């Protein structure tokens, strides 16, 4: 793992994050050792390494907490997405606690914060998360099948650990989203839909695989598309799953599901001026 001094920890939102209404992204790391086979971040310029090396390297911004301490006033009351090109709760976070340091710095300035992760480690920070008045924690739970999970994201945490973490976050009174994104093959559509409906997430998002021919979007990695074809999961299966989910609750699809938590009246209503130089 490489440790670097970064110039900035909050970057102006771009792409689907910006279109969703976020003003800032925050990435304590570059790269991600969960190394999911479908990850679009592998193809982004920030990654600076060939996509085939995705998951095998990690750069940590060792001054992330100090930067956040200094720069958090600039994002007060604004919509921040943590994280867009990495997972803020991947294994290195357990020891480095960069994400935790950022949260501690942000709490005083009350941004509208969305945390996006596959990492049950997020539950470690519930004490800090409870200090935010506008927050949603999105856990990615892309299938009901541990076997499928191991095929597509072998280094990411087991599904039941994610369910346990999101339950803990919910019990702490924090809004939660379940992101079935990208939607991997589902073993038992009806049972999975019932489980999600019983949990009653504040936001539920699905997203089918897609290939925009190498042009950047939230494109699906080739390795994952090959796996999907081998398993024989079709777009019609995805549609059947989403239709089943909709019998019980609202389902957002694709980027329409990635939007900030609601504004809180009386909390930093004035947008702070100025952008930071450079990118995170």
Instruction: Quote the tokens at residue 175.
Output: 């809004």
Using the minimum distance from each CB to ligand SF4, give the nearer residue, 63 or 90. Answer: 90
What is the spatial distance between Cα 136 and Cα 244, in angstroms, rounded to a whole number?
25
Per residue in 176-204, is it b (16+ CB within 10 Å) or e — as a string?
bbbbbbbbbbbeebeebbeebeebebebb
Shorter beta-carbon distance to ligand SF4: residue 32 or 72: 32
Q: Does 162 bind ligand SF4 (CB under 6 A)?
A: no
Q: Which of 65, 66, 72, 31 is nearest to 48 (CA)?
A: 31
Told to check if 159 binds ligand SF4 by CB under 6 A, we report no
Give, as ranges, the residues between 100 and 129 that touch ligand SF4 (CB under 6 A).
118
Is residue 35 near ligand SF4 by the rule CB under 6 A?
yes
Of 28-36, 170-178, 192-200, 213-221, which part binds ligand SF4 (CB under 6 A)? 28-36
Q: Is 87 in the site for ligand SF4 (CB under 6 A)?
A: yes
Q: How far is the CB of 54 from ligand SF4 (least distance, A)?
A: 7
Q: Please identify which residue in 10, 22, 34, 132 interacts with ligand SF4, judged by CB under 6 A.
A: 34
Total residues in contact with ligand SF4, by rule CB under 6 A: 10
What is the signed CA dihedral for 158, 162, 168, 174, rounded to 10 degrees?
Answer: 170
Which DSSP state fits 228? H
* Residue where the block lists tokens 């919509």: 79
Instruction: Quote the longest CA-to-CA distance of the chain.
Output: 53
Q: What's the rounded Cα separation, in Å, for the pair 127 and 149?
A: 29
Smallest gap, in angstroms, from Cβ of residue 83 to ligand SF4? 7
Closest to ligand SF4 by CB, 29 vs 268, is 29
58 contacts 33 by C-beta, under 8 angstroms:
yes
Which range in 35-43, 59-67, 214-222, 245-253 contacts ligand SF4 by CB under 6 A? 35-43
Beta carbon nearer to ligand SF4, 34 or 132: 34
Span interacting with ligand SF4, options 33-41, 74-82, 172-180, 272-280, rule CB under 6 A: 33-41
Q: Is 64 in the site for ligand SF4 (CB under 6 A)?
A: no
Nearer to ligand SF4, 156 or 165 (CB): 156
**Residue 136 phi/psi, 5° resolution?**
-135, 135
Q: Cα–Cα distance between 241 and 164 in angstroms, integer?
A: 23
**H or E element at residue 117:** strand 112-117
> Which one among 13, 17, 26, 41 touches ligand SF4, defined by CB under 6 A?
41
Closest by CA position to 149, among listed 141, 178, 210:
141
Question: Is residue 86 within the footprint of ligand SF4 (CB under 6 A)?
Answer: yes
Residues within the interface to ligand SF4 (CB under 6 A): 32, 34-36, 39, 41, 86-87, 118, 156
């Amino acid at each position: 793992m490489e440790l670097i001094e970064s110039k900035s920890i909050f970057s102006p939102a771009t792409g689907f994050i910006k279109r969703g209404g976020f003003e800032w992204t925050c990435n304590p790391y570059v790269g991600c050792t969960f190394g999911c086979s479908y990850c679009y971040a592998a193809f982004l310029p920030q990654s600076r390494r060939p996509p085939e090396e995705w998951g095998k390297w990690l750069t940590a911004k060792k001054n992330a907490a100090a930067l956040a301490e200094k720069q958090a006033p600039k994002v007060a009351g604004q919509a921040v997405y943590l994280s867009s090109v990495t997972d803020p709760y991947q294994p290195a976070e357990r020891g480095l606690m960069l994400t935790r340091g950022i949260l501690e710095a942000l709490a005083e300035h009350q941004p509208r914060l969305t945390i996006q992760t596959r990492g049950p480690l997020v539950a470690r920070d519930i004490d800090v998360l409870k200090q935010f008045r506008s927050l949603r924690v999105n856990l990615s739970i892309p299938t009901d099948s541990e076997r499928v999970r191991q095929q597509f994201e072998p280094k990411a945490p087991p599904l039941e650990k994610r369910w346990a973490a999101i339950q803990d976050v919910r019990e702490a009174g924090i809004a939660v989203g379940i992101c079935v994104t990208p939607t991997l093959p589902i073993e038992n559509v009806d049972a999975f839909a019932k489980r999600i409906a019983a949990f009653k997430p504040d936001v539920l998002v699905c997203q089918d695989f897609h290939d925009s021919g190498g042009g950047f979007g939230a494109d699906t990695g080739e390795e994952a598309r090959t796996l999907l074809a081998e398993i024989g999961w079709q777009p019609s299966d995805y549609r059947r799953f989403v239709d089943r989910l909709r019998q019980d609750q609202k389902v957002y699809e694709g980027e329409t599901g990635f939007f900030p938590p609601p504004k809180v009246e009386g909390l930093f209503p004035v947008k702070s001026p100025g952008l930071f130089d450079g990118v995170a």
